[in-house]
Amino acid sequence: MRFENRNVLVLGGNSGIGLASVKGFAEEGANVHFTGRNQETIDEAMQTVPGAQGHRVDITDRAAMADLLDNLGKDGRTLDILFINAGIGGFAPLREITEEQWDAIHNVNLKSCVFAIQQALPLLGTGSAIVITGSIGAHSALPGNAMYAAAKNGLHAAMKVMAGELVSEGIRVNMVSPGPIDTPLLYRNPGVTGAQVDALRDKMIESVPMKRMGQAEEVARAVLFLASDEASFITAANLCVDGGALELR
Ligand code: NDP
């Protein structure tokens, strides 16, 4: 029960890695709030994880984020843990990238993650922990992945700078970078057909020294570790959960 009575907010908690983390935090005693865009999966998540409170808030909507944080901060309540996990995929070869796709991916995966942290700062203080989901894709040259890789690489750079700025306030900031994980994300790439997804999946498995995809729970365990007091001397770290894909290739 590492998170007994801790207040946790997971942005992007109704699916995949976020949902597995919501479950993990709740099972260890936390008061968990989470966001997502899809009301149906938010409701399902609240049924699966009794006590967890879901909110339909798009991370790119600064006003909605402000309302959520105002509510969570009522009566002097604070946040112990902020998990910034919202993200979207998007494959396109260089010749096909559009500005619209580029902006959409950078808005969700980079800009809004940083602004969400900025907006949450009044609720954070000494002992608080921020965990951010990156990607090993930020550090590799997978064809068609320029938009996603650039956004997540920017997020990695921002994570380190934010960790440096917040260290004197007693706030730790760390990143978990998953390799290929079996979640709905892979199947939600706009413009990518079922056959292309299967081919991509096979290619990803081939690139992992452990020769399998990871499970959302395996990433959630790393998130919980970095958010916990067990990681009290860790900040600005990037923990890869990837079956050796980044370092052993
Ligand atoms: P999912 O698609 O299952 O989860 C993505 C989550 O982000 C959902 O909860 C989704 O909510 C939320 N989200 C997306 N856009 C927004 C938005 N604009 N506002 C609020 N919430 C939003 O995929 P994963 O669990 O795999 O992805 C989680 C994170 O892990 C992402 O940041 C992803 O980039 C990263 N990652 C995943 C890898 C993988 O192989 N699966 C590999 C490396 C990194 P909703 O469903 O309501 O849209």
CATH of the domain at 135: 3.40.50.720
Q: What's the pLDDT tens digit per position in 15-70?
A: 999 999 999 999 999 999 999 999 999 999 999 999 999 999 999 999 999 999 99
Specify whether 187 is catalytic. Answer: no
Q: What's the pLDDT tens digit per position in 178-201?
A: 999 999 998 887 777 888 888 888
Q: Is residue 246 part of a domain?
A: no
Q: CA 35, 160, 214 angle in degrees (round to 5)?
A: 55
Q: Tokens 């992007």 sit at which residue?
A: 12
Spatial separation of the C-alpha atoms in residues 221 and 146, rounded to whole Å:
28
- Counting from 1 in the atom list of ligand 1, the atom nearest the Cα of 17 is 25
**Number of domains forming the structure of the chain:** 1
Q: Does residue 90 or residue 15 have the better pLDDT?
A: 15
> Could you tell which of 17, 55, 106 is best to mutate to test the pocket of ligand 1, judged by most ligand atoms within 8 Å of the CB?
17
Q: Is residue 162 part of a domain?
A: yes
Confidence (pLDDT) at 188: 83
Q: What's the pLDDT tens digit per position in 122-169?
A: 999 999 999 999 999 999 998 999 999 999 999 999 999 999 999 999
Confidence (pLDDT) at 87: 98
Sheet holding 238-241, edge to edge: 53-56, 31-36, 7-11, 81-84, 129-133, 172-178, 238-241
**pLDDT range class, residue 249, cuts 50, 70, 90:** confident
Q: Is residue 181 part of a domain?
A: yes
- Within 10 Å of residue 202's Cβ, how many Cβ atoms? 10
Is the C-beta atom of 174 inside 6 A of ligand 1?
no
Is the C-beta atom of 214 inside 6 A of ligand 1?
no
Mean pLDDT across 5-19: 98
Q: CA 20, 18, 171 angle in degrees (round to 5)?
A: 110
Task: Identify the domain containing residue 58 by its residue range.
Answer: 7-241
- pTM value surpassing 0.90: yes
Would you give the distance in Å from CA 207 to the centre of its chain?
Answer: 22
Mean pLDDT across 109-116: 99
* 3-class SS of residue 8: strand
Q: Is residue 134 part of a domain?
A: yes
Q: Tokens 């020294």 sit at which residue?
A: 209
Strands (E), the chain: 7-11, 31-36, 53-56, 81-84, 129-133, 172-178, 238-241
Q: Is residue 214 part of a domain?
A: yes
Q: Is residue 29 part of a domain?
A: yes
Take atom 23 of ligand 1 and give the residue whose Cα is closest.
185
Q: Residue 139 Cα, ligand 1 centroid: separation in angstroms?
A: 19
What ipTM does the predicted assembly reach? 0.99
Q: Residue 85 Cα, ligand 1 centroid: separation in angstroms?
A: 6
Q: Is residue 2 part of a domain?
A: no
Is the C-beta atom of 24 inside 6 A of ligand 1?
no
Q: Is residue 1 part of a domain?
A: no
Confidence (pLDDT) at 53: 98
Is the C-beta atom of 60 inside 6 A of ligand 1?
yes
Residue 213 scores a pLDDT above 80:
yes
Say if CB 109 and CB 152 are below 8 A apart.
Answer: yes
Q: Residue 168 Cα, ligand 1 centroid: separation in angstroms?
A: 31
Which one is catalytic: 124, 145, 148, 151?
148
Which residues does 29 contact at the CB level (< 8 Å), separation at least 6? 1, 2, 3, 4, 5, 6
